Structure formats: structure tokens, C-alpha cells
Amino acid sequence: MPQAVVIIGVQWGDEGKGKIVDYYASGADMVARFQGGNNAGHTLVVDGKKTILHLIPSGILHPHAKCLIGSGVVVDPDNFLHEVDLLRKAGIQNLEDRIYLSDRCHLIVDYHKHLDAARESKKAGKIGTTKRGIGPAYEDRASRRGLRVADLYNETAFEEKLKENLAEKNFLLQEYYGVEAVSMESFMAKYREIAKKLKPFVRDVSAIIFQAIDDNKKILYEGAQGVLLDVDYGTYPYVTSSQTLPSQAALGLGARVPKDTLFVGVIKAYSTRVGEGPFPTELKDAFGDQLRESGSEYGATTGRPRRCGWLDLVAVKYAIQVSGIKNIAITKADVLSGISELKVCIGYDYQGKRLNTIPADSSILNQVTPIYETLPGWNEDLSKIRNPQDIPKNLQNYLKFIENFTGTHINLVSTGAGREAVIDIQKAF
């Protein structure tokens, strides 16, 4: 059994990472987020009750699990405190003893959200972001203008940095985007209050996880978004602003991952994407609408309808190549039940030539025609199946095809949104 498991999304996000993390978390001492922010929407369904988490790690419904937010995560304190409040109201106890927020996390503050929204309101260059301020916050981190959690506790320095930042941000907001400026006074008053409320959660997360690894604790790392949204390796520029690859698990928490770590990529049995950007296997027809309805494909963060399409194994194989993933969890196989023939994309036709990977210039993907393999579907209801031997023959065939095409091993098949709906082929914890 590995000491740690890193879970990442292999497509364009929303693969079902939250469900898989919640499932594995029963055997973990700690669950840690290492990148992204509250652009994520991770859905857990336990005893029929749905919980959507944006920032708090998906282990929170297991009372024994500590939940860590590493320095690679950008934190909107409004969202953090709101989520904590919702969890408290749902009866989750001792949150201050269970949620550890790194003092090195960059804050998403009001002007980041205003800038994100203002940019998105312009037609040209629209990414279709979640408007949560993710991009502007990561920009400030890289350009060394960011405000970090630790800065909240050094008021003079905070005020000084803020003054400089506001001069620049307000110029952009007012003069370039023609929207309202952010006032220094109300900003300081708001963040003074936030500093007090966040304090019980703030920790040196790097030191905590370092010690936990040394103490042989079981650690579950929770990725957000997916490889195809990675800022370098995704379908740039239609990506998020963080690194979503498994190597980010170490960087975003400030400690190595244990030697004995299992890396698991989550793949939805078909494809979805929310926001703009190329999507070769998208189905813009009634069948795409049917997939959206049967898969409840509406954004967990913004409620936007997700674009739906066939499984794109060229994109998945590429994502596996750049992330180094060898083990897979497949979700939403149940959504495909009852479809007589299933298509999977095994290549792209680009101007008469075959393309077998995702090119750096992702605009090429808008001009390709997918080359499909057609596989027979299955009609069985998968919801009660727990034993790998009971997997219907045609689903076994579909899974084998994915394994062979991508050179991976399927460890788990998820057959419903609920925690219990899992065929655990090779146990992780």
C-alpha cells in the first residue's frame, strides 16, 4: 500500500476528482490541496447529501482527516470563511483543528475579482473564466506584488503594499476598463476583520506535511482543474493560471511527496469542458444535450452548462504523457449505459494529415476532424456493481481499450455520484 496518493484531473476539469478524493480519504490521515483556488468545484455525495467544495479539501467529511491548503493555492478569504461557515452549519465540528491554511498562500482580494470580471466582459480574448480572480492573483504572485496570508499580520507592511497595488489596479479598473475603483479605507477595514477570522486556521503547512511524511502518515493530495487546463501544458491560452500536473503536489505544499506515492489520474468516460477553447470531440447536437442532461453536466462553481462530447483519447494520451500518470480512475461510466454505440477519438485529421497529439498551437484543434473508433455500448445498470468480475463485458472492453491506447492501468471505476458507487479494482489505501 502506498503512503500517499496524488489525484489529478486528466481532461478539462470536472472529471469527478472530488468524489474520488472523498472515497480515498477514508484511508488517509491528511488531504491536501496544492494549486488552483475557488475556481474549483468538487462535488461529494454522501448518504444522498450533496456537498460542493471550492477551496476546502474533499476530505472534510471524514472526521479523522486533517485538511491542508498549501502555498500553491490562491485563497479568497471571503470564499474560505463562507465555506467554513456552511460546513459548520452542516454540523461538521472542530474545523479550526482540522483545516490548516498555509501562511504562504497568496490572497485573492477584491481587485483581482474585479479585474477578472472586467477582462471577461470584453469580447476579444475572453477565456470564459470563473471570474473568481484566479488569473490576476497568480499574475501578482509572479510579478511579486501579491499579498500573502502572512501579510495580514503585519499591518504596516500590508498597508504599504496595498497602497502601491491600489494605485496601479485602480488606474486599470477606472481608466482602462471603465469600472469602479477599490477604496483603500474600506479595503483595510475589511481585511483587518478577515485577518482575525482567518487566524485560527493559519499554519506552517510545509512543516506540518514534512513531519507527517516522516511519521509515516497517509497523505492524499487533491488536484484541481485538469492537465488540459494546465498553464503550460493545457490548451493555452484557454487554460487556468496554475500548474495542474502531479509534480505541483510537492511544490504547492513545500515538501517532497513520499517515496511510495501512487499517482492517479481521473478520467470521465466521455469529455466535457466549461468555458471557451478548443474541444475537437464536442457534440453540438441533440446527443450532446442528452449527455449533458443524463450526466448532470452543469458547472459546480458557476452553474454554466458544460460542453459535452465523446471521449478524446488523443487528448487523454497527451495528458498522460506530460503528467507521467500510470494509474487511472474512470468516472461516470454509468452515464453511458444504454447508448448502443460509443465513439472514442483515436486521432485527428488535420488538412489530410493525421495528428496524434495536442499541438502547442491549440488553435489548430479548431480545424481538426476527429478520427473515431466505434465500440459497442452496454445496457446494464452499473449502480450496484462492486466486484470487478461483474463489470459488463462491453464496459470491460471499453476500459481495456482505454488502458491499451494510453498505456495505463485502471485502478477504480466510479458508477454513480455517491461515495459508495465504486468498483475498486486495485485498492490504494
Chain residues binding Mg ion by CB under 5 A are 14, 41, 300
All three cell numbers of 92, joined, read 461538521
Side-chain-side CA neighbours of residue 196 (13 Å): 5
DSSP-derived 3-state class of residue 30: strand
415 contributes a contact to ligand GDP by CB under 6 A? yes
Residue 266's beta-bridge partner residues?
9, 329
Provide the b/e sequence for 187-217 (b: ≥16 CB within 10 Å): beeebeebbeebeebbbebbebbeebbeeeb
Q: What residues between 40 and 79 interact with ligand IMO by CB under 6 A?
A: 40-42
Considering the complex, what minimum distance in angstroms separates the CB of residue 118 from Mg ion? 24
Active site (annotated) includes residue 260: no
Backbone angles phi, psi at 184, to 5 degrees: -60, -45
What is d(CA 146, CA 19) in angstroms, rounded to the nearest whole number? 32
Q: What residues between 28 and 47 interact with ligand IMO by CB under 6 A?
A: 39-42
Strands 99-102 and 202-203: parallel
What is d(CA 27, CA 9) in angstroms, rounded to the nearest whole number? 20
Assess contact for 168 and 181: CB atoms under 8 A.
Answer: no
Angular region, 300: left φ>0, alpha ψ -120 to 50, beta rest? alpha
136 contributes a contact to ligand GDP by CB under 6 A? no
Active site (annotated) includes residue 42: yes
Candidate list 15, 103, 116, 312; residue touching ligand GDP; CB under 6 A: 15
Candidate list 198, 257, 300, 391; residue touching ligand GDP; CB under 6 A: 300
9 contributes a contact to ligand GDP by CB under 6 A? yes
Nearer to ligand GDP, 277 or 416 (CB): 416
Considering the complex, what minimum distance in angstroms separates the CB of residue 41 from ligand IMO? 4
What is d(CA 15, CA 307) in angstroms, rounded to the nearest whole number? 13
- Binding segment toward ligand IMO, per CB under 6 A, in 64-72, 97-105, 221-229, 318-326: 221-229
Binding partner of 45, given Mg ion, ligand IMO, ligand GDP, none, CB within 5-8 angstroms per partner class: ligand GDP
What is d(CA 1, CA 73) in angstroms, rounded to the nearest whole number? 28
Candidate list 121, 296, 357, 363; residue touching ligand GDP; CB under 6 A: 296
Amino acid at 199: K
Amino acid at 203: R
Angular region, 94: left φ>0, alpha ψ -120 to 50, beta rest? left
What is d(CA 167, CA 171) in angstroms, rounded to the nearest whole number? 6
Q: What residues between 299 and 338 interact with ligand IMO by CB under 6 A?
A: 300
Considering the complex, what minimum distance in angstroms separates the CB of residue 266 from ligand IMO? 9
Binding partner of 274, given ligand GDP, Mg ion, ligand IMO, none, CB within 5-8 angstroms per partner class: ligand IMO
Binding mask 341-380 for ligand GDP (x = CB under 6 A): ----------------------------------------
Candidate list 11, 129, 165, 414; residue touching ligand GDP; CB under 6 A: 414
Positions touching ligand IMO (CB under 6 A) are 9, 12-14, 39-42, 127-130, 132, 134-135, 224-226, 229, 240-241, 274-275, 300
Instruction: Report, as residue numbers or ranges, the catalytic residues.
Output: 14, 42
Positions touching ligand GDP (CB under 6 A) are 9, 13-19, 41-43, 45, 296, 300, 331-332, 334-335, 414-417
